[in-house]
Amino acid sequence: MSFVLDNSVAMCWLLADGKPADVAYAEAVLDALRERQALVPSLWALEAGNVIARGEARGLLTEARSQAFVVLLGRLNITTDTATAAHALGDTLHLARRYKLSAYDAAYLELALRTGSPLATLDADLKKATRAAGVQPFAPN
């Protein structure tokens, strides 16, 4: 079974910041990737790169640590959706408006709705929209 992986979860793997429950959830999602496939919208790699670059600029990450993380991401069972852009100004924009999300966050919700997949996220607004849209949250256990 596949699930949609929000960038907030993956960046928790790198930064290990946030509430202990969030870190534990992110680690459980990472463990689930041993047997399950994650789906991500095509903007996912750009979002990840942005967090990495900003973390390095702020002195929170070294380039070596960032590169090791990039290698880890490349080894994980993560598949990038090729239809994200085709839905961006239609379904995704509609979801962003309806649930008052950024278009970036709405792309994860759109992908989950389109594929019938649960969504793994730590973002409070996206969690709320996920429930309201009838998408199941990803339960890694």
Which residue segments constitute the domains of the chain, with CATH numbers given? 2-133 (3.40.50.1010)
Task: Indicate the DSSP class of residue 136.
Answer: P
Mean of the per-residue pLDDT values of the chain: 97
Across the range 17-40, mean pLDDT stands at 96
pLDDT confidence tier of residue 39, bands split at 50, 70 and 90: very high
129: buried, middle or exposed (CB in 10 Å: 19+, 13-18, 0-12)? buried
- Alpha helices, DSSP H, located in 33-90: 44-57, 63-75, 84-87
Whether 81 has a binding-site annotation, put simply, is no
Q: What is the pLDDT of residues 81-121, one digit of tens each?
A: 999 999 999 999 999 999 999 999 999 999 999 999 999 99
pTM (two decimals):
0.95
Across the range 64-72, mean pLDDT stands at 97
Whether 6 has a binding-site annotation, put simply, is yes
Confidence (pLDDT) at 16: 82
pLDDT confidence tier of residue 17, bands split at 50, 70 and 90: confident
In this structure, are residues 73 and 51 in contact, taking their beta carbons and an 8 Å threshold?
no
